Structure 1
Amino acid sequence: MPSSTDRILTTHVGSLPRSPRLLEANAARAAGRLDPDEHRALLGEAVADVVRQQVETGIDIVNDGEYGHTSTQSVDYGAWWTYSFDRTGGLEVVDNPALAEPHRSAPGKVELTSFLDRRDFTEFADAYGDPTSGIHLADPDQPPPAFPTATGPLRYTGQDAVAADVAHLKAAAGAAGAHGAFVAALSPGSAARIGNKHYASDEEFVYAWADVLREEYTAILDAGLDLQLDDPSLAESWDQVKPEPAVEDYQKWVQVRVEALNHALRGLPTERVRLHVCWGSWHGPHSTDLPFEHIVDQVLQADVGGYSFEAANVRHEHEWRVWEDRTLPEGKVIVPGVVSHATNVVEHPRLVADRIERFARLVGKENVIASTDCGLGGRIHPQIAWAKLRSLTEGARIASQELWG
């Protein structure tokens, strides 16, 4: 991961707001109304614009806004994951009622229930069902995405798509003079949360995804760009297990996913890889989130150069304390969120600086890169998203002055 000996660097988790023009083009491309070459040219222009905006805002380590992870809606919590469906063979949208049915786990066996059967959703069912509550999961006028099932051996088919991601970002970052650039990609554990009718076990399915996604990771790193692995499954899935499992059982389940991730990264330059962990980007109570302290040791076993995690929203800000009694491995950095995707309130730069300095005192100022909790695109209004990024960079400037003098 890029590091600095004279100031706090800034980045973000990945997703940035899409323009109406890009959303319309994505919808037209999906419906076959826009030529693929025309769409690719328009996408390249959009990436160039969003990279320029990031640099002008003061973001050091930029990305393509995840624009290559196609979204057709202004509110979209899932493009970080669903993009993989179009890049993987062996998947089909089939009649799989098990995906919508509640599942129950047992001692020693962790099994995810359906998404809408989460403990947080059921505990606050009235709030989630009330359009005036401030909770917004998706556009009610849009049909829900069709989640596929693995019906045969998985294989990677996204070579052209990842090549386009890489080409657009490299050109844009070079033109804008960015300090560094990364591409986000799905983790094996998060990929394996779809249906499976082919592989004999959960572990076999996760490792199959590791082998498939390794090709995408390799393409990004071979291009000279940094790689972010998006793995909400490590923390978020806890809420999708009913009844609430023993922490030890869940830790074993997480361990399989960390080991599969390391398998996917074997032999790659992992010092240029960062792992993003979060509790899901939807707006809601999150009262059944797993405390970070229960999985941070498993997260630190991931063979990556940086660890990105939520640290600004009100459910998890107090968890900076996990670093009081843990030693950050040599050569690693942390990438804590210091502004949140979960509120429309724009954080004051002084608060951002305080959050940064708190981590710097615990792990060393050279080992902190300031970031967002999660992706901002599709979660909050574009005007607010960019205001938060400006507050992030201003807070980092204040912290840098106070930490280095």
Structure 2
Amino acid sequence: MTSANTDHIQTTHVGSLPRTPELIEANRRYADGESTWEELTAQLPAFVSDIVARQRRIGIDIVNDGEFGHIMPSALDYGAWWNYSFSRIGGLTPSDEDRWATNEQIRSEPGKIRLTSFSDRRDRTRFRDAYEDPTSGVLAHRRSTVQPKITGPISYTGHEAVQEDVRNLTAALAQSDAPEGFVAAISPGSAARITNEYYGTDEELLFAMADVLREEYLAITDAGLTVQIDDPSIAESWDQVNPEPTVEDYLAFTQLRVDALNHALRGIPQEQVRFHLCWGSWHGPHTTDIEFKHIVDQVLTINAGAYTFEAANGRHAHEWKVWRDHPLPEGKRIMPGVVSHSTNTVEHPELVADRIEQFASVVGRENVIASTDCGLGGRLHPSIAVAKLESLTAGARLATERLFG
């Protein structure tokens, strides 16, 4: 579905867009049991139609539903991309375990990687005073994060919900002139990061999760849409291993997650899959992020036609140079972030154009689709998010003038 640029630099974004106050209130009422699923979904078509139209007015080429089908009951929410899956997977039991309150230290051994608790991440350990200071602005999602546990064989129960996502976006696309639409879905590796009390091994759990989530991917792609696989676990988990592992051990750990994802994607046309990589969307120092050069070749083995990744923030903006030494395979595209979700500063269109041209200089103008670092919804004030998208499209127009004449 994602075709090469022929006469201009195409634009897109990573997925989550700011919800309106009305949609947030509708989500809150449903989450709090004050309304039914039927009452909520009756409102979604209008909300999705509006967000698709707004994307097109801004100038976004490849649009989505804003992830409006993923419940987000408050304006600030870093977890909707993941938490939505809990209501679509059977075999889970509610838990009162707060992933941020838990301070369990799980130490890894050479050759054996184990993820520690969120509160024991290496970046958080280094800057604990800043992370725990409510006035620092470092960690915007300091709210409790309560997740269920896996207590039985998992299954996919989200058929109705994903069909709602598909119907709403398909209808909105028919009302617009958008050439392409995508729906975001969580990866097996990211979905499997909740507490597991049933499966005996990582491999067993990951491939069971792959078979479950494959049903969601097929529902999206069978409808002619593109599925975006959200998988920060590939890069982000590096920070969640104590002590820091060797790169070789970490790549072995992530390879199992890549294999499970490719198992889930088997038979799905590559051009209908885009893969999103990020280092975690929280607003923090990120000094313990793994360098992109260490994982890029592994990422490129994922059966996707396009790859989105952070490339605008201060920790990863220099990594466009990675593509000098790691050629992009034939027929694949990159969707680098040229505006960031992690700062309120709105990037100047000239800077956006410069970033696009840097990538074009190493992979070709036809293979660069301008995007955002991560989702903007739940992370930035709506007016700032809109301004960033406007700057993205303005910068893409400038780059188009220079690259296509």
Same fold (TM over 0.5): yes
One-letter amino acid matched to 1:53 = R
* 2:391 alignment partner in structure 1: 391
* 1:248 alignment partner in structure 2: 248
* 1:127 alignment partner in structure 2: 130
RMSD: 1.4
- Report the CA distance between 1:290 and its aligned residue: 0.5
Deviations 1:22-75 (A, max 9, x none): 111111112222233221121221111111110000000001111111011111
Query: 1:108-187 maps to which residues of 2 (within 5 A)?
Result: 108-138=111-141, 140=143, 144-187=144-187
Q: Separation in 2 of the partners of 1:268 and 1:128?
A: 41
Q: Secondary structure at the match of 2:289?
A: coil
Q: Separation in 2 of the partners of 1:145 and 1:340?
A: 24
* 1:318 alignment partner in structure 2: 318
Q: Secondary structure at the match of 1:167?
A: helix
* 2:212 alignment partner in structure 1: 212
- Report the CA distance between 1:366 and its aligned residue: 0.6
* 1:303 alignment partner in structure 2: 303
Q: Secondary structure at the match of 1:176?
A: coil
Q: Separation in 1 of the partners of 2:156 and 2:232?
A: 21
- Report the CA distance between 1:131 and its aligned residue: 2.3
Q: Separation in 2 of the partners of 1:242 and 1:18?
A: 36
- Report the CA distance between 1:93 and its aligned residue: 2.0
Q: Secondary structure at the match of 2:237?
A: helix
Deviations 1:329-353 (A, max 9, x none): 1100001000000100000000000
Deviations 1:324-383 (A, max 9, x none): 011111100001000000100000000000000110110011111100000000111100
- Report the CA distance between 1:98 and its aligned residue: 9.7
Moved more, 145-154 or 32-41: 32-41
Q: Separation in 2 of the partners of 1:134 and 1:21?
A: 27
Q: Structure 1 vs Structure 2: percent identity of aligned residues? A: 62
8 Å contact 2:86–2:92 — kept in the other structure?
yes
* 1:279 alignment partner in structure 2: 279
Q: TM-score, normalised by structure 2?
A: 0.97
* 1:51 alignment partner in structure 2: 52
One-letter amino acid matched to 1:92 = T
* 1:2 alignment partner in structure 2: 3
Deviations 1:71-112 (A, max 9, x none): 111111110001000000011124669993221111000110
- In 2 relative to 1, CA 97–105 (structure 1 residues): closer, same or farther, beyond 3 Å? farther
Q: Separation in 2 of the partners of 1:280 and 1:79?
A: 13
- Report the CA distance between 1:174 and its aligned residue: 1.6
Q: Secondary structure at the match of 1:17?
A: coil
Q: Separation in 1 of the partners of 2:3 and 2:16?
A: 20
Deviations 1:257-285 (A, max 9, x none): 11111100111112210100000000010
Q: Separation in 2 of the partners of 1:280 and 1:82?
A: 15
8 Å contact 2:14–2:374 — kept in the other structure?
yes
Q: Separation in 2 of the partners of 1:273 and 1:227?
A: 5
8 Å contact 2:98–2:147 — kept in the other structure?
no
* 2:332 alignment partner in structure 1: 332
8 Å contact 2:17–2:375 — kept in the other structure?
yes
- In 2 relative to 1, CA 345–98 (structure 1 residues): closer, same or farther, beyond 3 Å? closer
Which runs of 5 or more structure 2 residues have no equivalent in the other structure?
Answer: none
8 Å contact 1:96–1:195 — kept in the other structure?
no
8 Å contact 2:99–2:147 — kept in the other structure?
no
* 2:63 alignment partner in structure 1: 62
Q: Separation in 1 of the partners of 2:134 and 2:299?
A: 36
One-letter amino acid matched to 2:325 = D
Deviations 1:303-329 (A, max 9, x none): 110111100000000111110011111
- Report the CA distance between 1:138 and its aligned residue: 2.3
Confirm or deny that 1:237 pairs with 2:237.
Answer: yes
Q: Separation in 1 of the partners of 2:252 and 2:142?
A: 36
Query: 1:91-102 maps to which residues of 2 (within 5 A)?
Result: 91-94=92-95, 100=102, 101-102=104-105
Q: Separation in 2 of the partners of 1:131 and 1:290?
A: 27
**Residue-pair matches, total:** 402
- Report the CA distance between 1:146 and its aligned residue: 2.2
- Report the CA distance between 1:139 and its aligned residue: 6.1
8 Å contact 1:85–1:148 — kept in the other structure?
yes
Query: 1:288-299 maps to which residues of 2 (within 5 A)?
Result: 288-299=288-299
One-letter amino acid matched to 1:272 = Q
Q: Separation in 1 of the partners of 2:36 and 2:275?
A: 35
8 Å contact 2:98–2:145 — kept in the other structure?
no
Moved more, 34-43 or 64-73: 34-43
Query: 1:369-380 maps to which residues of 2 (within 5 A)?
Result: 369-380=369-380
8 Å contact 1:357–1:399 — kept in the other structure?
yes
Q: Separation in 1 of the partners of 2:205 and 2:99?
A: 17
Q: Secondary structure at the match of 1:72?
A: coil
Q: Secondary structure at the match of 1:308?
A: strand
Deviations 1:143-199 (A, max 9, x none): x23211111111000000000000111111221221211000000111111111111
Which runs of 5 or more structure 1 residues have no equivalent in the other structure?
Answer: none
- In 2 relative to 1, CA 202–116 (structure 1 residues): closer, same or farther, beyond 3 Å? same
Deviations 1:117-157 (A, max 9, x none): 111111111111222212233265xxx23211111111000
